[in-house]
């Protein structure tokens, strides 16, 4: 049994039946405490999804953690940024009207949310690694164009080969 403490308990209570059905766990709450019981793997996935919901991700995006074997990661802005002005640093990540965040999301195939001084990322583990590095580069002051080109160069290629074709000669 896992015990979590949630500030946004209403989001979890509203989706309790769907979470229990999809994740194969029993969810009990007592005040701000949430208790998860079930198989260890199911408990771990449920814990990640509840963390993502707590972070502010929409329910459909948080459920991708279970359905598509995605992962959830949070980056602390204070530990990565060189500057003391955190509003300016958050502004670099968000961009004008959210344009930088959308571009990062499109180039990395990940979903982003910003909560206080943290950046939450949901995506494929390979993509999350690149998205995390891109966020750290932006937080340290790199130019946006350089970060975008980094993401384009390091984009993981999908594997379509089943081992039946001969490798291409380079």
Tell me the per-residue pLDDT of 51-84, one tens digit each, with 9 for 90 and over: 999 999 999 999 999 988 899 999 999 998 887 8
Beta strands in 33-108 (DSSP E): 33-38, 71-76
Where do the structural domains in the chain lie, given as residue ranges? 2-67, 71-153
| Partners of 25 in beta bridges | 38
CA separation for the pair 47, 27 (Å, rounded): 11
The percent of residues above 70 in pLDDT, for the chain, comes to: 92
Q: What's the confidence (pLDDT) of residue 170?
A: 57
Residue-averaged pLDDT of the chain = 89
Q: What is the pLDDT of residues 98-136, one digit of tens each?
A: 999 999 999 999 999 999 899 999 999 889 999 999 999
CATH number of 71-153: 3.30.1370.10
pLDDT of residue 165 exceeding 70, the answer is no
Contact by Cβ (8 Å): 29, 12? yes
- Cα-trace Rg, the chain: 18
The answer to pTM > 0.75 is yes
Sign of CA dihedral 89, 95, 98, 100: negative
Q: What's the confidence (pLDDT) of residue 147?
A: 95
CA separation for the pair 46, 27 (Å, rounded): 9
CATH number of 2-67: 3.30.1370.10
Residue 48's H or E segment, with its range, is helix 40-55
* Tokens matching residue 32: 């701000």
Q: What's the confidence (pLDDT) of residue 126?
A: 87
Q: What is the pLDDT of residues 17-61, one digit of tens each?
A: 998 999 899 999 898 899 999 999 999 999 999 999 999 999 999
In the numeric block, the tokens 């384009």 are attached to: 152
Q: Is 71-153 the same fold as 2-67?
A: yes
């Amino acid at each position: 049994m896992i015990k979590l403490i949630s500030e946004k308990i209403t989001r979890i209570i509203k989706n309790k039946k769907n979470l229990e059905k999809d994740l194969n766990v029993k969810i009990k709450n007592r005040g701000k405490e949430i208790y998860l019981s079930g198989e260890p793997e199911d408990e771990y996935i449920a814990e990640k999804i509840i963390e993502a919901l707590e972070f502010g991700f929409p329910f459909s995006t948080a459920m991708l953690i279970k359905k598509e074997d995605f992962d959830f990661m949070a980056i602390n802005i204070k530990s990565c940024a060189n500057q003391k002005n955190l509003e300016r640093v958050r502004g670099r990540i968000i961009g004008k009207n959210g344009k930088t965040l959308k571009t990062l999301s499109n180039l990395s195939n990940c979903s982003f949310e910003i909560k206080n001084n943290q950046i939450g990322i949901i995506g494929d583990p390979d993509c999350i690694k690149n998205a995390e590095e891109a966020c750290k580069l932006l937080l340290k002051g790199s130019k946006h164009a350089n970060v975008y080109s980094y993401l384009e160069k390091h984009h993981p290629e999908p594997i379509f080969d089943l081992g039946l074709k001969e490798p291409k000669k380079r």
